[in-house]
Structure 1
Amino acid sequence: MEAKINQFFGPIVTFINGGEQLPWCDIVVGCEKEVADATTGASDEGKNESIMRLSWALVHFKQPQDMQRGIAMLEASLANSSSPLQQREKLYLLAVGFYRSGEYSRSRELTDQCLEIAPDWTQALSLKKAIEDRIIKDGVIGKGITLITIGLIAGGIVASMVRRK
């Protein structure tokens, strides 16, 4: 068991300690192998844990199609959540996936659902703050672009009026 844990978390520890970049492909492949192994003989709990680890890896992966695959896996398994803790974890990972894919309103909605289950959960509170900051930032950028566009159009109108005279 310890070897399996070291195999999974070893690259993460190396990354955190300043080593090489995190080999996401290796982590995803390892998790996929673990899920395949779990489907042939493990208990339902073992299968669910393997699927959660794979979903976590996919949601944190840089490739959009893999993020979407992780989101789809989590959405499919959400109905099978037997405990509030499992539901909270899946909702949180879904919120992370939607945040990373740029769907901030959906991410905020899921984070709020997490906070209904565990109102003082620091990870969800941090994610909610990041989502709100991002929404505000995107709103300010959008308003800035709108104002610049209006200014350019107004400038063009004024310039064409000056030329006519």
Structure 2
Amino acid sequence: MEVKINRFSGPIVTFINGGDQLPWTSPDIVVGCEREVADANKGASDEGKNESIMRLSWALVHSKQPEDVQRGIAMLEASLANTSSPLQQREKLYLLAVGYYRSGEYSRSRELTVQCLEIAPDWRQALSLKKAIKDRITKDGVIGIGITVTTVGLIAGGIIASLVRRK
């Protein structure tokens, strides 16, 4: 019986929670990247500093902690203006899109993903993120419709019940 319930409920839980394939980082990885940035600031070249900051930004936007994601978004937005290389711009736009996706700002995430794809139209990561965003927006719409239909049904049921009681 339990197997049948799990077989039925598994897809529903995945649907509700979201099934994207983006990786998550642990707090240990974030701390390690923060140490790396601190060490790089003590004497590494500008290129070494930038690489360690990019790794920290990646770890932050892939974190399960909302405050880490927000910090990663802020870091990437601040550094985007100083980016001249199209490859670096693509990477930062993608990480920003991941950060906005993780924070639930799907329309902003989609805009940034489109910008990534303008730079590199065949980039698999950006194409996968674009699909995840589309799926999430569709799913949220379906859930919203379900909530609305349920609410309307409850209200109509209450009205009908009160009319039946009066008679």
Measured in 2, the distance between the counterparts of 1:24 and 1:118 equals 29
Deviations 1:38-67, CA, capped at 9 Å, x for gaps: 122222211111100001111111111111
Measured in 2, the distance between the counterparts of 1:71 and 1:47 equals 18
Find the partner of 1:135 among 123, 134, 137: 137
Question: The residue matched to 1:119 in structure 2 has which SS?
Answer: coil
RMSD: 1.4
Give the number of aligned pairs.
Answer: 144
Find the partner of 2:87 among 51, 73, 85: 85
Taking the TM superposition and a 5 Å limit, the aligned residue runs for 1:40-119 are: 40-119=42-121
Deviations 1:59-107, CA, capped at 9 Å, x for gaps: 1111111111111111111111110110100010111111112111111
Identity of aligned residues (%): 85
Measured in 2, the distance between the counterparts of 1:55 and 1:49 equals 10
TM-score by length of 2: 0.82
Give unpaired runs (5+ residues) of structure 1. Answer: 1-21
Distance change in 2, residues 1:23/1:146 (3 Å): closer
Give unpaired runs (5+ residues) of structure 2. Answer: 1-23
Counterpart residue number, 2:30: 28
In the TM superposition, structure 1's runs of 4+ consecutive aligned residues that sit over 4 Å from their partners are: none
2:90–2:119: 8 Å Cα contact kept in structure 1? yes
2:94–2:113: 8 Å Cα contact kept in structure 1? yes
Shift of 1:23: 7.4
TM-score by length of 1: 0.83
Measured in 1, the distance between the counterparts of 2:90 and 2:68 equals 22
2:25–2:62: 8 Å Cα contact kept in structure 1? no
2:93–2:113: 8 Å Cα contact kept in structure 1? yes
Instruction: State the one-letter code of the partner of 2:62.
Output: H
Shift of 1:24: 2.1
